[in-house]
Amino acid sequence: MQTINIEKNDAGQRADKFLTKYLPLAPKSFLYKMMRKKNITLNKKKMTGKEHLALGDQIQMFFSEETIGKFSKMHTPKLMQTDTNIPSSKVSVIYEDEDVLFLDKPCGMLSQKAKATDFSLVEWLTGYLLKTQAITQEELLRFHPSICNRLDRNTSGIVTAGKSLKGLQVLSTMIQNRSVRKYYRTIVCGQMKESVRAKGYLKKDENQNKVTVFSDRQEGSVPIETEYVPIQTGTDFTLLEVHLITGRTHQIRAHLASLGHPVLGDYKYGKRSANDRAKKEFGLTHQLLHAYRMEFPEEVPDLPSLSGRVILAKVPRQFAKILHQYLEKEQ
CATH number, domain containing residue 16: 3.10.290.10
Question: Is 84 contained in some domain?
Answer: no
**What integer pLDDT is reported at residue 73 of this predicted model?**
66
**What integer pLDDT is reported at residue 81 of this predicted model?**
47
Do 112 and 61 share a domain, yes or no? Answer: no
Question: Is 55 contained in some domain?
Answer: yes
The whole domain housing 47 covers: 2-71
Do 263 and 146 share a domain, yes or no? Answer: no
Final residue belonging to a domain, choices 151, 177, 203? 177
- Residue pLDDT, tens place only, 97-153: 999 999 999 999 999 887 877 888 999 999 899 999 998 887 887 888 999 999 999
d(CA 41, CA 20): 15
Ranges of residues in the chain whose predicted pLDDT is under 70: 73-89, 330-331
Do 304 and 210 share a domain, yes or no? Answer: yes
- Residue pLDDT, tens place only, 246-263: 989 899 999 999 999 999
Question: Is 131 contained in some domain?
Answer: yes
For 45, residues 6+ apart whose C-beta sits below 8 A from its C-beta are none
Q: Using an 8 Å Cβ cutoff, are 192 and 228 in contact?
A: yes
Do 145 and 234 share a domain, yes or no? Answer: no
Do 190 and 309 share a domain, yes or no? Answer: yes
Question: Is 297 contained in some domain?
Answer: yes
Question: H/E element holding 290?
Answer: strand 289-295
Listing DSSP states for 37-56 in one string gives TTSEEETTEE--S-PBP-TT
Question: Is 81 contained in some domain?
Answer: no
Final residue belonging to a domain, choices 177, 209, 228? 177
Tally of domains in the chain: 3
CATH number, domain containing residue 107: 3.30.2350.10
Full-model pTM:
0.81
